[in-house]
Amino acid sequence: ANNFATKGKRKTLNAGDVLSAMEEMEFQRFIAPLKESLEVYRREQKGKKEARKDKDKKADSEEQDKSREEENEDDDERMEEEEQNEEEEVDN
């Protein structure tokens, strides 16, 4: 597998390198089960990644909703202060 990666001018081994090496070493009986396991693993990882993205999107939207609510509260407070200031000015 290392030789296959070196031929590809890479330092990192990947699944294809390992499978090619196993084929060259005549371990065909292990190749099919390994490919199936690899596909299952990749699907699981993809599902986890998508679930994380969905969770992050929900968290972001909730944070935006909270910040909007805080902004609205701040605006309400400012309006109340302005009304009080106007009332004080009218009294003077």
Give average pLDDT by consecutive 10-residue segment, the chain, 92 residues.
89 90 91 94 93 83 72 71 67 56
**Tokens read off for 86:** 């106007």
The confidence score (pLDDT) of residue 85 equals: 67
Total of domains in the chain: 1
Asked whether 17 and 4 are in contact (CB, 8 A), the reply is yes
The confidence score (pLDDT) of residue 87 equals: 65
Angle between helices 28-91 and 15-24 (to 10 degrees): 180
The confidence score (pLDDT) of residue 63 equals: 74
**40 inside domain:** yes
Domain of 34, in residue numbers: 1-54
Residue 45 CB burial class (10 angstroms; 0-12, 13-18, ≥19): exposed
The confidence score (pLDDT) of residue 21 equals: 92
**67 inside domain:** no
Which DSSP symbol is given to 27? Answer: -
The confidence score (pLDDT) of residue 90 equals: 63
**23 inside domain:** yes
**21 inside domain:** yes
The confidence score (pLDDT) of residue 54 equals: 85
Kindly give the residue spans of alpha helices, DSSP state H, lying in the chain: 2-7, 15-24, 28-91
